[in-house]
């Protein structure tokens, strides 16, 4: 039986998005055996489209077993390097599907949870007395302190002052769980959740929430896959490229896409390098009334 290998690198949100590509590919070629080699294998566990998953760097005898003298097709291209993505012509998933020669099928993100994962919630949170609806709030994201220069990235995060203003407006109505890393800015009147837990356990927090206010990070991809409509705030990245129709996507009142002196293929560095920020005031970055409208 012919085999197709998908080699996928990058962040976990990109991995979640790739499940829609693999689903479209499997629907087009149902007899293909699909193997994924990736950075975040837990994303694909339980996915019926995929026959086997390997973590990058842990692939003993892989060439001999799957490539040498075999009927195999290999997709190791990075959609981030494709023209359609760079010039913002199409959504990441559409670009990726085009690369592998299939058409995207809407709503086919695939994120599976086994019975233990579905039941898993941090005891510290499960013991909370829920007196108000639960709001998952992720105003800051990114790859972690070892991979970005500052705790706040202007490109994808909500400015700390604006994040606190949002909390002040909502904390009487909601119990707010602030999902973050330990180095992120601290907010008042929230329950700070900065534990390092398996990613699918983190995603499972979404299942217990009543509302979700997120940024362009892995949680918004997971929420779309779990069919949990959320409000997503955008600044330097675009919902046209990374977002989902299921969400309420809030873009800046003033958008700057012209890049900066250090811009090469992309307009801005995701990590929010300070001197690249084109904004002079936060009012141009966020429409707070729109953000709060659904709450």
Domain coverage including residue 28 = 3-100
**126 domain residue, yes or no:** yes
- State the Cα–Cα distance between residues 275 and 258, nearest whole angstrom: 14
Residues 89 and 125 in one domain: no
Please report which confidence band the pLDDT of residue 236 belongs to, taking 50, 70 and 90 as the band edges: very high
Q: Does the pLDDT value for residue 147 go beyond 80?
A: no
CATH code for the domain of 198: 3.40.50
Residue 68 and residue 70: Cα distance in Å, rounded? Answer: 5
* Mean pLDDT, residues 13-37: 97
Is the predicted pLDDT of residue 1 greater than 80, yes or no? Answer: no
Phi, psi torsion values for 52, nearest 5 degrees: -160, 150
- Report d(CA 171, CA 135) in Å as an integer: 9
Average pLDDT over residues 152-181: 96
Question: What are 271's two structure tokens?
Answer: 């990590």
Place of tokens 């362009």: 216
Give the per-residue pLDDT at 121: 78
Residue 116 backbone class (left: φ over 0; alpha: ψ -120 to 50; beta: rest): alpha
Q: pLDDT (tens digit, 9 = 90+) per residue, 118-128? A: 887 777 777 77
Task: Summarize pLDDT for 168-215 with one digit per residue, the tens.
Answer: 999 999 999 999 999 999 999 999 999 888 889 899 999 989 999 999
- The pLDDT score that the predictor gives to residue 131 is 86
Q: Is residue 114 part of a domain?
A: no
Q: What is the pLDDT of residue 197?
A: 85
Q: What pTM was estimated for this model as a whole?
A: 0.94
Q: Do 135 and 42 sit in the same domain of this protein?
A: no
Q: Please tell me the total count of domains within the chain.
A: 2
pLDDT band at 272 (very low <50, low <70, confident <90, very high): confident
Contact criterion met (CB below 8 Å) for 179 and 214: no
pLDDT tens by residue, 86-123: 999 999 999 999 999 999 988 899 999 999 888 877 77
Is residue 111 in a domain?
Answer: no
């Amino acid at each position: 039986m012919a085999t197709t290998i998908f080699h996928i690198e990058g962040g976990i949100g990109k991995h979640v998005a790739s499940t829609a590509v693999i689903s479209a590919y499997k629907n087009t070629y149902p007899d293909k055996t699909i193997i994924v080699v990736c950075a975040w294998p837990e994303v694909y566990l339980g996915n019926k489209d995929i026959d086997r998953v390997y973590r990058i760097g842990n692939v003993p005898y892989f060439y001999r077993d799957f490539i040498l003298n075999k009927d195999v097709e290999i997709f190791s291209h990075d959609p981030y390097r494709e023209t359609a993505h760079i010039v913002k012509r199409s959504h990441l998933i559409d670009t990726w599907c085009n690369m592998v020669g299939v058409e995207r099928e809407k709503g086919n993100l695939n994120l599976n949870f086994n019975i233990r994962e579905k039941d898993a919630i941090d005891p510290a949170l499960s013991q909370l007395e829920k007196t108000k609806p639960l709001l998952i709030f992720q105003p800051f994201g990114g790859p972690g302190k070892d991979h970005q220069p500052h705790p706040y990235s202007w490109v994808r995060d909500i400015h700390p002052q604006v994040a606190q203003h949002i909390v002040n407006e909502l904390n009487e109505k909601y119990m707010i769980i602030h999902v973050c890393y330990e180095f992120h800015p601290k907010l008042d009147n929230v329950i700070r959740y900065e534990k390092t837990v398996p990613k699918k356990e983190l995603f499972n927090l979404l299942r217990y929430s009543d509302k979700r206010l997120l940024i362009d990070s892995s949680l918004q991809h997971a929420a779309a896959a779990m069919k949990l409509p959320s409000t997503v705030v955008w600044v330097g990245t675009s919902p046209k490229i990374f977002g989902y129709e299921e969400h309420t996507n809030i873009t800046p009142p003033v958008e700057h896409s012209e890049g900066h002196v250090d811009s090469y293929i992309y307009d801005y560095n995701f990590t929010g390098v300070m001197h690249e920020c084109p904004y002079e005031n936060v009012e141009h970055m966020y429409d707070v009334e729109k953000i709060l409208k659904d709450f």
